[in-house]
């Protein structure tokens, strides 16, 4: 590979790293459930990626490479700080012009329940669920990002989804008891 090809590749990798910045934050937040820590982790991952842009051989595989760097940043943070899980849910309400206040409230409650359930998953399952189900990464990308075999990705995803299903179904309120009845 010539000097020009290497330079072009590094520029493409740097551009892709900057383009994936928001995705890194979302994934980091999903993994650690702390907005400030997620911002720090995403920033660390971007810095490391930009410093080591020459290591990325193919701009098309940068996404998996970035998630691997992010996973390593999180692992390093946990090793250094030995933090506890912060399960405080961040309430995000997405305004829907067609929905009424009841719909917005129900959507907000469901979002909080799902975020809390994901937050209670073991870290390995939480990482895989967020990358596959929310960030739409392939199993191979997740395996690369986390440094685990594809089979482990599949089993963690299966166990994580099963735990979420059981948690969300067990805690679901009976719809008959929550309806308002009209009296004539």
Q: How far apart are CA 8 and CA 155, in angstroms?
A: 39
pLDDT tens readout for residues 68-109: 999 999 988 888 876 444 444 433 444 444 556 777 787 788
pLDDT for 122:
93
pTM for the whole structure: 0.58
Can you list the positions of beta strands (E) in the chain?
A: none
- Confidence class of residue 40 from pLDDT cuts 50, 70 and 90? very high
Residues 135, 27: Cα–Cα separation, whole Å: 8
């Amino acid at each position: 590979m010539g000097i020009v090809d290497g330079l072009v590749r590094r520029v493409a990798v740097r551009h892709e790293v900057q383009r994936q910045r928001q995705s890194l934050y979302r994934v980091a937040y999903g993994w650690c459930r702390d907005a400030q820590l997620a911002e720090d982790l995403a920033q660390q991952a971007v810095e490391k990626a930009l410093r080591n842009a020459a290591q990325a051989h193919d701009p098309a595989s940068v996404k998996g490479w970035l998630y691997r760097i992010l996973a390593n940043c999180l692992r390093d943070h946990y090793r250094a700080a030995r933090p506890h899980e912060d399960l405080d849910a961040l309430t995000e309400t997405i305004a829907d012009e067609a929905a009424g206040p009841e719909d917005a409230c129900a959507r907000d409650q469901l979002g909080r329940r799902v975020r809390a359930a994901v937050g209670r998953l073991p870290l390995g399952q939480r990482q895989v669920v967020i990358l596959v189900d929310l960030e739409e990464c392939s199993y191979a990308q997740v395996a690369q990002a986390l440094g685990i075999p594809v089979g482990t990705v599949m089993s963690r995803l299966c166990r994580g989804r099963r735990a979420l299903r059981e948690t969300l179904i067990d805690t679901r309120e009976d719809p008959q008891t929550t309806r308002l009845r009209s009296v004539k």
